[in-house]
Structure 1
Amino acid sequence: MGEAIVVGVTDAPAARRAVDWAAQRAADRRQPLELLAVVGGAVGAVGEDSVVGSALAATRELVEGEASRLAPLGVAVSTRVERGNPVSVLLDASADASLLVIGSDYKGPGGGKARGAHGVRIAAGAKCPVVVVPDFEVTGRSGIVVGVDGSPVSEKAVAFAAAEAERLGEPLIAVSVWTPLEAPRNMGVYPVEYLENLEQLTDEAQAVALAGLRQQYPDLDIVRKIERGYPSEIINGLASTARLAVVGSHGRGALARFLLGSISHEVLARLATVTAVVR
């Protein structure tokens, strides 16, 4: 894994938001930034070469314009324009990146149908953490929300989120969700002891997961939340007022045959804020 932050560039508004987010992180962490654009859709039709040539030239102009726009940040910026399938090219680029940043045209609740087919595919197959930036403003929000379930991937998500919270001077909002076993409606109410034990076990698991953060980040404000419900709904509910949300690519109990866990998939499908998927 390399040091550069790679960001996918198109002429969509969400892509510019992604570029801005990635550039600021690169400036804060003194990392190089690569702007990567992909011209796809070629099928070998007669007369296509001239169309592709024009598209490549226009795309190079777009990427170079973005690089010039970032000059005041003092970031080391490189540019690259490729031909091919955008998802495949970005996945290949992730192998040599520290972070891959992409935009999403999802505009939030009330902004249309759920989005994220490409985002989900990229987050599922990338070799590095992926940040998906939605097409709405998050300025003025506060907090870095991270899903905690005690799994190894969750540990990496917590580490990523804590570093971002420290960088941004934001509180770290650690959320763990417990859900009773599904049961027939005629079974009656759950025993109080069972519910209390589930909550306690979840609280203890989160405490263990966060144990080392106090020493590593002594000034970090850590807000612990233990909630009952469905994880993606709880996470996106908290993320709706947060600056960033962080989830693991797979949670506890995820099956190896799935490329992306159901919770991270659902969080990406209805982005509530800028969202990082860590593997």
Structure 2
Amino acid sequence: MAGHIIVGVTGAPVSRRAVDWAIARAVERKQSIELIAVVGGAIGTVGEAEVLGAAQSATQQLLESEAARVSAAGVAVTTKVDSGNPVAKLIEASSGAALLVIGSDYRGPGTGSVRGVHGIRIAAGAKCPVVVVPDTDLATGTGVVVGIDGSSVSEHAIEFAAAEADRLGEPLIAVSAWTPLQTPRNAMEVYPELYLANMQAMTEEVLSLSLAGLSSRYPDLKVVRRAERGHPSQVLGEIAEDARMVVVGTHGRGAIARFLLGSISQEVLSHLPTVTAVVR
């Protein structure tokens, strides 16, 4: 994938993890990096200009420090300090980029609330794939997990995930989940075996059709197929806990829908199991 990687930089500790992740990818894909930080909250009140100027100066120093680390890795880097709404500014910056990387302060179950809404809106509105890096140790993990539902968006997610798995030398774990028809409590305590078998078979067929032709483009890529019963986001989350990355698609469309993700994508982003890529 040609082009440059944009990294949204903040003062949060996870921002450094996001930059590190982008550096590793840029080195392997021979891409450049643009570090962007947005100073938000200005409303034009009297005396605000001095505060804004000081904030922009401090932010520029932060970017220069991070840029030095990027340059040390042999990656071409530029920096930009902007002001305004961080969500809108990063969405705007994503136009023409190969990838947008942001951090999340999510540290796993039981760690309390996180500032996740901005990440969800950015992922929904961005013009390029978005990678969200959680504030957790990413050193371990095997495989690139991709959620598949047979849609055109799913096809884009598969292509992105396959390229990442091939780049990392990891297996591609293709996951499609099926959920039995919901009924009032106790109305269907035992589903007919034929129904369950057909649901499983149909899901396996979706996987086969969606992955057709992948081996010709990535002959050395190992593909593991997982057709699982359960709620899609829960299934993806459990499998991706031990993976290097999970890739999901978003069905956001148009001016109104651009701040909305499909429910599965949003649920995965709200409880990041690992580095998560959202592909339109």
Q: TM-score interval w.r.t. the shorter chain?
A: over 0.9
- 1:159 partner letter: E
Q: TM-score, normalised to structure 1's length?
A: 0.95
- 1:213 shift after superposition: 1.2
Name the counterpart of 1:89. Answer: 89
Is 1:172 the equivalent of 2:172?
yes
Name the counterpart of 1:42. Answer: 42
Gaps (5+ residues) in structure 1?
A: none
Is 1:143 the equivalent of 2:143?
yes
CA contact (8 A) 1:248 1:277 kept: yes
Give the match's secondary structure for 2:132: strand
- Residue by residue over 1:46-79, the C-alpha shift from the partner in whole angstroms, topping out at 9 and shown as x without a partner, is 2111111111111111101101112222111111
Name the counterpart of 1:61. Answer: 61
CA contact (8 A) 2:148 2:174 kept: yes
Name the counterpart of 2:242. Answer: 241
Name the counterpart of 2:201. Answer: 200
- 1:125 shift after superposition: 0.8
Gaps (5+ residues) in structure 2?
A: none
Is 1:76 the equivalent of 2:102?
no
Identical positions, percent: 62
Give the match's secondary structure for 1:132: strand
Q: Distance in 1 between matches of 2:16 and 2:64?
A: 13
- 1:184 shift after superposition: 2.1
Name the counterpart of 1:33. Answer: 33
- 1:262 shift after superposition: 0.2
Name the counterpart of 1:230. Answer: 231
Deviates more, 1:119-128 or 1:186-195: 186-195
Q: Distance in 2 between matches of 1:136 and 1:233?
A: 19
Residue correspondences, number: 276
Is 1:250 the equivalent of 2:251?
yes
CA contact (8 A) 1:98 1:129 kept: yes
Give the match's secondary structure for 2:27: helix
- 1:113 shift after superposition: 2.9
Cα separation, partners in 2 of 1:219 and 1:89, compared to 1, 3 Å: same
Give the match's secondary structure for 2:16: helix
Q: Distance in 1 between matches of 2:258 and 2:70?
A: 41
Pairwise CA RMSD = 1.8
- Residue by residue over 1:136-165, the C-alpha shift from the partner in whole angstroms, topping out at 9 and shown as x without a partner, is 111021111110111000000010000000
Name the counterpart of 2:191. Answer: 190
Name the counterpart of 2:162. Answer: 162
- 1:187 shift after superposition: 3.0
CA contact (8 A) 1:148 1:175 kept: yes
Q: Distance in 2 between matches of 1:67 and 1:138?
A: 22
CA contact (8 A) 1:115 1:270 kept: no
Name the counterpart of 1:108. Answer: 108
CA contact (8 A) 2:105 2:114 kept: no
Give the match's secondary structure for 1:175: strand
Q: Distance in 2 between matches of 1:247 and 1:13?
A: 25
Q: Distance in 2 between matches of 1:191 and 1:142?
A: 36
